[in-house]
Amino acid sequence: MKKWFAVIGDPIAQSKSPEMHNTWYEQDGLDAAYVPIQVKAEDLEKAVNSFKLLGVSGFNITIPHKTTIIPFLDEIDETAKHMGAVNTVVRLQNGNLKGYNTDGDGFVRSLEEKIGQEHRHQPLLIIGAGGAARGIAYALKKSGYEDITVTNRTISKAEDIIDALGSGKVITSDEVSKSLGQYKILIQATPAGMQYGGEVSLPFSIEQMSKGVIAADIVYNPLMTPFLRHAKAIGGTVVTGVGMFVHQGAIAYEHWLGHYPKTEFMIERITKQLNEA
């Protein structure tokens, strides 16, 4: 019997998830399909109920539904519960829908493919406090990163992440502008990078970025966001969002189908496509 999967978000047209997952199904010889569905915030509950009725095998969630979807699911795993964010849903044998968070682990796998594990003791700043940032913060701590700071326009959301972690610091945008150079690792975890060209649309100046910085952005399209372009221009190491995107999808794939797909090939393929765009 054919399995079907989906990704929901608003917007969704830019997502490369359908291409990625459908390629993996083809490589693995599976009778399956993966489709993008735009879902407005006010229609989220109806969409989840429709998936259950129509027998979806699993689906991914992207901006802006990662936290608001939780009340509409039957179960969520401990990581998703701890961080209050879901990006992957699995249909269980009893028909229930269970939520997971693969963003964080996908990000850490991508980061450490590029920089190894020797930087886990370095001061690290997460910019943003949405669903992806929450998952990333939790996965970083779980992986042994010791010195985590979070900043966000709405400071209370950053405080919520640190409270959930049980350790770390929160700083305001004004404080970031003055102290940016002290952070060895910067993680841009907001949708700001989706803006093509122009200036970095963050609420603080990035001029004080350290020349030896490791800068990562969760946005993968465009490949080189304004944030990453600045880091590269001053000699920093950049980690694009492609690796996180591929690995979070691969972990979701493993939840649904029981094995890990070919990620190295997919990272190279998507990076090439975005470079040629």
Domain count, the chain: 2
Query: What percentage of the chain reaches a pLDDT higher than 90?
Result: 77
Confidence of residue 199 (pLDDT cuts 50, 70, 90): low
Asked if pLDDT for residue 42 goes beyond 70, the answer is yes
Would the pLDDT of 201 be above 80? no
131 band by pLDDT with thresholds 50, 70 and 90: confident
Judge if 237 and 117 occupy the same domain: yes
CA–CA gap between residue 144 and residue 141 (Å, rounded): 5
Q: Identify the pLDDT of residue 193.
A: 59
Report in angstroms the alpha-carbon separations of 214 from 88, 144, 211: 28, 17, 9
Domain assignment of residue 125, given as a range = 104-241
Kindly state whether residues 205 and 118 are assigned to the same domain: yes
- Span 151-194, pLDDT tens digits: 999 999 999 999 989 999 999 988 998 899 999 999 999 877 55
pLDDT(132) > 90: no
In this structure, are 59 and 145 located in the same domain? Answer: no
| Cut 0.85: pTM above it | yes
The pLDDT of 32-38, averaged and rounded, is 98
**Residue 86 and residue 64 share a domain:** yes
Dump pLDDT digits (tens) for 222-260: 899 888 999 999 999 999 999 999 999 999 999 999 999
Residue type, position 53, single letter = L
What pLDDT does residue 202 have?
72
| CATH number of the domain where residue 69 is located | 3.40.50.10860
Residue 80 and residue 129 share a domain: no
Supply the residues annotated as catalytic: 66
Residue 135: which pLDDT band, with cuts at 50, 70 and 90? Answer: confident
For residue 228, give Cα distances in angstroms to 43, 117, 171, 223: 35, 21, 22, 9
Is the same domain home to 126 and 214? yes
Q: What is the average pLDDT score of the chain?
A: 92
CB-CB contact of 44 with 16 (8 Å): no
| CATH code, domain carrying 124 | 3.40.50.720
Question: How many of the other CB atoms lie within 10 Å of CB of 2?
Answer: 8
Residues 108 and 237 in one domain: yes
Q: What confidence score (pLDDT) does residue 149 get?
A: 98
Q: How many CB atoms lie within 10 A of CB 242?
A: 23
Lowest mean pLDDT of 35-39, 195-199, 257-261, name the range.
195-199
- Same domain? For 230 and 264 the reply is no
Using one digit for the tens of pLDDT, what is the confidence trace for 71-128?
999 999 998 988 788 999 999 999 999 999 999 999 999 999 999 999 999 999 999 9
Instruction: Mark whether 71 and 42 lie in a shared domain.
Output: yes
Picking from 71, 60, 76, 51, the residue whose alpha carbon sits closest to that of residue 8 is: 60
The DSSP string of the chain is --EEEEEEESS-TT--HHHHHHHHHHHTT--EEEEEEE--GGGHHHHHHHHHHHT-SEEEE-TT-TTTTGGGSSEE-HHHHHHT---EEEE-TTS-EEEE--HHHHHHHHHHHHH-STTTTS-EEEE--SHHHHHHHHHHHHTT---EEEE-SSHHHHHHHHHHHTS-EE--HHHHHHHGGG-SEEEE-SGGGGS-SS---SSS--TT--TT-EEEES--SSSS-HHHHHHHHTT-EEE-SHHHHHHHHHHHHHHHHSS---HHHHHHHHHHHHHH-
